[in-house]
């Protein structure tokens, strides 16, 4: 049983020492390893892998390779180039807002376009440098070449509509034009009119007019010079060295 001596009031020196200790944070508590508290370490480890805090840490973290286990709903992989992935419940797949294989145009300087590579057939790309793009394109080798996209326009695939069955993905179609047409009328030789006079031609044909010294119908007993025709497509449409549409020039890229 405790005696009165055991509950003696503290001395003045003990009181001042207590006040001094209270001012020093290191004296407030001791240090104890988490592992010495039964079950606490395991509980914290389990919580760390699924907690929102842990997922936020993983989102802030970058990876050099795609993880095979869940780390966070959204992660960033830096190698071989910056890529964004989302967890689909089974594995990580490219984020829908950062997909590979999407074609886009840009008229910005090429050095400023870093989120895609040019679609051109004179460059050989390494599969290891663009793994997701190579996968979606079905590349099986160590290198691949894209179709030639320079100085071309994009056209949607036919996909069963029946306008042009040759229009499948990746098909390079050359230029072509609609048929040209024209007409001329030949007058009865006995009437004295040679074919090709100005009033007797139209469409893509035009009259060369009278051509003195050229073979005429004089051999048939008709005096006068011959008239000629020329085919000139510019009478029906603007002409150039290729068939083309009205366009704005930009460089074609594909996301990787």
Lowest mean pLDDT among 56-60, 191-195, 244-248: 191-195
Cβ(180)–Cβ(231) below 8 Å: yes
Distance CA 83, CA 99 (A): 9
Those residues whose C-beta lies under 8 Å from the C-beta of residue 102, and which sit 6 or more positions away, are 254, 255
Q: Where do the domains of the chain lie?
A: 52-98, 182-235
So what's the pLDDT on residue 147?
A: 93
Across 183-202, average pLDDT = 56
Query: Which carries the bigger pLDDT value, residue 142 or residue 22?
Result: 142
DSSP for 180-195, written as a single string: P-EEE----GGGTPPT
pTM, to two decimals:
0.61
- Compute the distance between CA of residue 30 and CA of residue 87 in angstroms, rounded to an integer: 43
Residue 214 pLDDT class (50, 70, 90 cuts): very low
* pLDDT at site 187: 53
Please give the average per-residue pLDDT across 83-103, as a whole number.
95
pLDDT at 68 over 60: yes
| Residues 231-240 pLDDT 10s | 788 887 888 8
């Amino acid at each position: 049983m405790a005696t009165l001596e055991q509950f003696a009031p503290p001395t003045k020196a003990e009181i001042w020492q207590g006040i001094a200790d209270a001012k020093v944070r290191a004296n407030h508590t001791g240090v104890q390893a988490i592992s010495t508290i039964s079950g606490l370490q395991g509980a914290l480890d389990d919580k760390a892998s699924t907690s929102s805090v842990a997922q936020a840490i993983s989102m802030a973290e970058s990876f050099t390779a795609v993880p095979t286990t869940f780390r966070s709903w959204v992660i960033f992989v830096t190698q071989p180039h910056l890529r964004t992935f989302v967890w689909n419940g089974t594995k990580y797949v490219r984020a829908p807002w950062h997909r590979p294989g999407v074609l886009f145009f840009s008229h910005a300087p090429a050095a400023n376009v870093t989120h895609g590579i040019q679609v051109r057939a004179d460059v050989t790309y390494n599969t290891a440098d663009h793994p997701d793009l190579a996968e979606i394109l079905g590349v099986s080798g160590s290198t691949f070449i894209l179709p030639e996209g320079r100085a071309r326009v994009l056209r949607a695939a036919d996909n069963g509509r029946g306008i042009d069955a040759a229009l499948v993905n990746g098909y390079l179609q050359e230029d072509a034009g609609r048929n040209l047409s024209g007409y001329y009328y030949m007058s009865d030789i006995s009437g004295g009119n040679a074919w090709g006079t100005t009033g007797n031609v139209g469409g893509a044909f035009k009259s060369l007019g009278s051509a003195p010294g050229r073979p005429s119908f004089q051999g048939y007993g008709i005096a006068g010079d011959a008239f000629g025709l020329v085919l000139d497509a510019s009478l029906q449409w603007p002409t150039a060295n290729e068939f083309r549409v009205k366009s704005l020039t930009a460089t074609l890229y594909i996301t990787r």
